[in-house]
Structure 1
Amino acid sequence: MTSPVDGISGALAALAPAPPVAGTAAPGAATGASGAGFAAALTTALDQLQATQSASDALAVQAATGDLRDVHDYMIAANEAKLATEMVVNVKNRAVEAFNEIMRMPV
């Protein structure tokens, strides 16, 4: 018999921190006053989003023309593109909120 705690620790082990994204600085690393590290990370993320959406669009064209062998490939690519777009929009909204909050701070 297993205890419920064993299931929880197994689930928590699956939530281990992900390795850093290629092209981004390690947490706490100094990137300079210019913010070049953030700009590079943002550019990389937007390029990956564009690639994901392009792959989804290509599979959609294949599905429309009847050349697609497995509809699951298109469904997976479409959902990946949708989730990536939602994430980018949420990050943008948080950045705008943070900027507005900083602008409201008294000097």
Structure 2
Amino acid sequence: MTSPIGGISLPTIPGVGALGGTSGVSAVVPAATPGSADGFAAALTGALDELGSLQASKDQMAVQAATGDLRDVHDYMIAAQEASVATEMVVTIKNKAVEAFTEIMRMPV
């Protein structure tokens, strides 16, 4: 029996690669040079933009579900779960970045 529901695609972060499934496991991503636009700030900005679009999609489906215009409720549930996982991912990356910065600041000069 095949499932009619496709896989959940997680947002990709530039410089990190895909985070879902097996894609991005063997990909080699060149390191960003200092001062380039492909640094951590650009990666985090891209992830936040993707997160915003996922949450906007979820919010739109929630309104459709509340008004009775949504045809399949499972579409809303999938969008809500995608937004939740993406939020957790971005928060985890942010926390690790703050933790790394704190460790660097503790190093003796």
**TM exceeding 0.5:** yes
What code does the residue aligned with 1:73 have?
Answer: D
Q: Which runs of 5+ in 2 are unaligned?
A: 1-20
Alignment of 1:38-49 (within 5 A): 38=39, 39-49=41-51
The equivalent of 1:37 in structure 2 is: 38
CA–CA distance in 2 between the matches of 1:51 and 1:19? 28
Q: Which runs of 5+ in 1 are unaligned?
A: 1-13, 21-25
Q: TM-score, normalised by structure 1?
A: 0.72
Structure 1 residue ranges (4+ consecutive) displaced by more than 4 angstroms after TM superposition: none
What code does the residue aligned with 2:59 have?
Answer: D
Displacement of 1:27: 2.2
Is 1:15 equivalent to 2:17 in the alignment? no
The equivalent of 2:89 in structure 1 is: 87
Deviations 1:54-105 (A, max 9, x none): 0000000000111111000000000000000011011010000000000000
The equivalent of 2:77 in structure 1 is: 75
The equivalent of 1:97 in structure 2 is: 99
| Pair 98,81 (structure 1): closer, same or farther in 2 beyond 3 Å | same
Q: What is the number of equivalent residue pairs in this alignment?
A: 88
Higher helix share: 1
Q: CA RMSD in A?
A: 2.1
The equivalent of 1:52 in structure 2 is: 54
The structure whose RCO (Cα within 8 Å, separation 6+) is larger is 2
